[in-house]
Amino acid sequence: MAGKDYYEVLGVDRGADAKTIKRAFLKRARKLHPDVSNDPDAEERFKEVNEAYSVLSDERKRANYDRFGTAEGPGGFGSDYVDMSDIFGGGFGINDIFDSFFGGPAGRSSARQASTRGRDMGLTLHITLEEAAAGCKKSIAYERLAPCDDCGGTGVAEGGHEKECGRCHGTGVVREVQRTIFGQMQSQSVCPDCGGSGKVIDKPCETCDGQGRAPSRETVDIEIPAGIHSGQSLSVSGRGEAGVRGDRAGDLIVRLEVDQHATFERQGDDLLCRVTVDSLEAIVGKSVEMDGIMAGERVTVTVPALCEFGQQVRVGGRGMPRMGMRARGNLIAVVEIVPPEGLTPEERGDIAAIVNARADADRARAHANAGRNHGHP
């Protein structure tokens, strides 16, 4: 949306507060949503409104936009590394939130599902292996249907009232009796006037259209325990979609993805890495110092004498923490052997002398064995 003023798109002043921006966004989004508007340009304009709100509703992005003209700031950075994807298989972007918003109950006559509990939401959060080892706290910004600020989540505008539905008489269901060749058949369905709640509103809130909830950008803090594995999930109670008119909210399910590490490969609670020694060091043995996975940790890997290529050296208690325990897994170093570098001519001569002496000794032993096999003393 290059060249367009986000404030003009939403029709607000540059000094507008967050509540004014949100109201303007909901008003335009409701008018332009493809499920509501017949305007051929509605979908494109809806995207523009959504883009403007995604910037102006975020304090950091709005500050960057006001100062530099772009949400990312002068360096082109600034987005939260959060994958807003539903871990149950669908998506939970702003379009899905609006689908729930427009598909939910209007104040008086919208047919909807009997359940008014908010849906669970899921997202994926990437962390480093160091963060998984030490545990950390993350702040996550995301979009959800939250309790409406203007009506306090009731769905009732000022001066309005919630009353018993006249069609179902508060039961939330309607029954119909049909005559068939088999006799009278009775069917039961969710009341289309109250959507199964048994209540209707005579003056619904204009901001949320009587739902008691509206799209909102929010931030949640999550504590990630030390030792967590990639693919494990944490649940934040009540931070999914808000329920309709104050009903129970769903949960926010955060799935953790631990990024690959440049040095360590995780296998369970063990950490695998590679240590390199030259062929001379492999003969006599060597202690290799390296950084551990914990901050400031140094680990000593003792390569034994006469070590072979690919041999594994285990260092106990220097792997990943076991989640919920004080114990840690092991660090397993796989030894790689390379030719020595920087040998002087004298050193190469000394090595050659050793190799030749060993070769002479091998030949002498072979000659002696051959003599014994032929019966010679």
Residue 363 lies in a domain: no
What is the per-residue pLDDT for 322?
A: 97
Can you read off the two tokens belonging to residue 123?
A: 């997202």
Q: Which domain holds residue 195?
A: 81-258
Residue 302 sits in the same domain as residue 243: no
CA distance 271 to 332: 6
Residues whose CB falls within 8 Å of the CB of residue 70, separated by 6 or more in sequence, listed in order: 64, 76
The single-letter DSSP state of residue 85 is: B
Residue 168 lies in a domain: yes
Residue 274 sits in the same domain as residue 199: no
Residue 221 sits in the same domain as residue 90: yes
What is the per-residue pLDDT for 40?
A: 85
What is the Cβ-side half-sphere exposure of residue 86, based on CA atoms within 13 angstroms? 17
Residue 254 sits in the same domain as residue 116: yes
232-240 long-range contacts, Cβ below 8 Å, gap at least 24?
Answer: 232/256, 233/87, 233/122, 239/121, 239/144, 240/118, 240/119, 240/120, 240/121, 240/144
Residue 127 sits in the same domain as residue 196: yes
CATH at 55? 1.10.287.110
Residue 353 lies in a domain: no
Average pLDDT by consecutive 10-residue portion of the chain (377 residues)?
Answer: 82 92 87 80 88 89 89 56 39 57 48 67 96 96 91 92 91 84 81 85 89 90 97 96 92 96 97 98 97 97 97 98 95 97 94 92 86 64
Residues whose CB falls within 8 Å of the CB of residue 129, separated by 6 or more in sequence, listed in order: 258, 259, 260, 261, 264, 266, 293
Residue 237 sits in the same domain as residue 191: yes
CATH at 330? 2.60.260.20
Residue 187 sits in the same domain as residue 119: yes
CATH at 107? 2.10.230.10
Residues 228/215, Cβ–Cβ less than 8 Å? no
What is the per-residue pLDDT for 100?
A: 63
Residue 373 lies in a domain: no
Residue 206 lies in a domain: yes
Residue 291 sits in the same domain as residue 234: no
What is the per-residue pLDDT for 374?
A: 65
Residue 161 sits in the same domain as residue 240: yes
Total domains in the fold of the chain: 3
What is the per-residue pLDDT for 88?
A: 38
What is the per-residue pLDDT for 206?
A: 87
C-alpha distance across the termini of the chain, in Å: 98
Residue 246 sits in the same domain as residue 302: no
Residue 348 lies in a domain: no
Find the Cα–Cα–Cα–Cα dihedral 104, 109, 111, 112, rounded to 10°.
30
What is the per-residue pLDDT for 196?
A: 82
For β-strands 331-338 and 270-278, DSSP reports them as: parallel
Residue 131 sits in the same domain as residue 196: yes
pTM reported for the whole predicted model: 0.72
What is the per-residue pLDDT for 272?
A: 98
Residue 217 sits in the same domain as residue 161: yes
Q: Is the dihedral of CA 101, 105, 111, 116 positive or negative?
A: positive
